[in-house]
Amino acid sequence: MGKTLILKEIHNHLVSFRFLAVFALLLVIVPVTVLILTNDTIRKQDEYSQRQTDIQNYLAKYAHFNRLYAVLAPSQPPLPLQALVLGLTAVPRLDTFDNDPLPVLFPMIDLTFILAILMSLAALIFSYDAVSGEKEDGTLKLMLANGVPRAKIILAKVVGGTMILWIPFVISLALSMILLLVHPRIAWSASDWGAVGMILIGAFIYIALFFGLGVLVSSRHASSASSILTSLFLWVLFILVVPNLSPYVASLIRPSPSIVEVNRQIDKIEDADRDDMGRKLEKEMREKLAKEFPVLAGVERMNEATIKAEIDRNPGFAKAYAVFRKGREEAWHQANVIQYAKSKVLRDDLNAKDKAQTKLSVALSMISPLASLTYLCADLTSSGSRNLVHFDTIRGPWDNAYDNYMRRKMEDMRKANPTVDIWNTAADVSDMPRFVYKEESLAGRIAAILWPLVVLIVMTFGLFVAAVLSFNRTDVR
């Protein structure tokens, strides 16, 4: 009986105009979107490669330690799955507005958009008259007169409707995958295909969820006209209102200080205040050493050439200058430690409050199924906020290696030339450790999306139960 009911639902949808319309739409929009994103990914990969070449050319001529870290700042290369899901990479950059304003004004769509927006809307369009339409036609009364359990009717409508929507989506996505497979510049690994498989599982549950919502609404209305209005209202609420409103609600419940104001205070502490303290500590050190080494009198007014000549001429000055140089470095190091400790308090407070606010915002946003699907797709493709944390994790060891390398290289430069300006003199950094991005394992990404996946499953089951209970109380006359 259950199989017959499901086949009936599939047949009814197959011969409908809305199925043909959705099929035609997906058959065009999914491959075109993937093709556009593929070309965009290749462009970004070429730009990334060119940027690495430019960095190498720069380092060969201008490897000054005062700007070296900014040039070598670790960056993530474009990943193959960005041909499907953009995630945070879809956030437009305002500095590109002058060259091409359209990506800023109209960001590109991706697979997440197609699933979250188009497929959810299609599910409601297919299901808004699932019960009310048959009630109006009189077929629902006939089914119940033959002793068909009401729970089976609801189950058949949800399963059959989800499958009929799944068919055009999978066909259009399969066509897109063929385009990717034959592309010479796109190479997916086994973990990439595994991530796509998990996205498909989440997508199927997501479509079933909205189909269940449509069936629930349809069972609560006597006419299809009123059912479609309620369905569209709920779609706007869950898709547009809740995800966009959650950050503002979270900011009211758990406020965080202004990042602009905090950064202004930090810049003052680490810049002007640090320089003032550094000069003060250096002056105190210089006055103290002048009593012990009279030969250092006026050394702060000497230029580099004069100091070098005096070191070569006077061994006593050379010894005193070595002590002076070490004391000056210690004075500025102490100034940095003191001021960075002050700024760290502000940073830690801002980070703690930001994390609490973000955590609450994420929890509130997951009232919407769209948020759960978005987190699932973004984390599986390493394009979400989890990847930012992963990036910082793998960046930490490189930062430490760079700091150790910089100190060793500076010490070698001082040994070769005691008066050298170690910050503004080009150095040979051909043996410097380089940052290599490594994507998080598929197992780690799957573990991260279990919670959004569970939320989608619970919501789907809850809507199905609610639809069954509502239908049990429905008068089909």
Q: How do the domains of the chain map onto residue ranges? A: 2-253+440-472
Q: Which residue has the higher pLDDT, 329 or 195?
A: 195
- pLDDT surpasses 80 at 475: no
Q: What distance in Å separates the CA atoms of residue 198 and residue 380, rounded to the nearest whole number?
A: 8
**pLDDT for 137:** 77
- pLDDT surpasses 50 at 251: yes
Contact 254, 353 (CB under 8 A): yes
**pLDDT for 94:** 46
Q: How confident is the model at residue 105 (pLDDT cuts 50, 70, 90)?
A: low
Torsion of CA 228, 229, 232, 237, to 10 degrees: -140
Query: Nearest 5 degrees, angle CA 76-CA 81-CA 85?
Result: 100
Q: Name which of 251, 222, 221 is nearest 234 in CA terms.
A: 221
**140-144, 317-321, 373-377 — which one is most confidently predicted on average?**
373-377
Number of H helices, E strands in the chain: 20, 0
Average pLDDT over residues 262-291: 86
Q: Which residue has the higher pLDDT, 161 or 313?
A: 161
- pLDDT surpasses 70 at 90: no
pLDDT single digits (tens) 176-199 = 988 888 888 888 889 999 999 999
Residue recorded with tokens 């040039």: 71
**pLDDT for 99:** 55
**pLDDT for 93:** 52
Q: How confident is the model at residue 104 (pLDDT cuts 50, 70, 90)?
A: low
pLDDT single digits (tens) 6-27 = 888 888 888 889 999 999 999 9
Average pLDDT over residues 297-321: 78
**pLDDT for 91:** 56
**pLDDT for 258:** 82
Q: How confident is the model at residue 103 (pLDDT cuts 50, 70, 90)?
A: low
**pLDDT for 1:** 58
Average pLDDT over residues 402-407: 88
Average pLDDT, the chain: 86
Contact 25, 138 (CB under 8 A): no
- Residue 8, both tokens: 């009936």
Q: Provide, rounded to the nearest whole percent, the portion of the chain with pLDDT above 90.
A: 31
Q: Name which of 151, 152, 135, 150 is nearest 1 in CA terms.
A: 152
- Give the number of other CB atoms < 10 A from CB of residue 211: 31
**pLDDT for 459:** 95
pTM of the model: 0.82
Phi, psi values for residue 439, rounded to 5°: -65, 145
Average pLDDT over residues 211-226: 90
Q: Which residues contact 89 (CB under 8 A, 6 or more apart)?
A: 78, 82, 383
Q: How confident is the model at residue 214 (pLDDT cuts 50, 70, 90)?
A: very high
HEC secondary structure over 315-350 = HHHHHHHHHHHHHHHHHHHHHHHHHHHHHHHHHHHH
**pLDDT for 370:** 94
- pLDDT surpasses 60 at 96: no
- pLDDT surpasses 50 at 381: yes
Helix (H, G, I), strand (E, B) or coil at 241: helix
Secondary structure letter of residue 368 according to DSSP: S
Lowest mean pLDDT among 131-135, 159-163, 207-211, 394-398: 131-135
**pLDDT for 410:** 85
- pLDDT surpasses 90 at 216: yes
pLDDT single digits (tens) 410-441 = 888 888 887 777 878 888 888 888 888 898 99
**pLDDT for 272:** 87
Average pLDDT over residues 452-477: 88
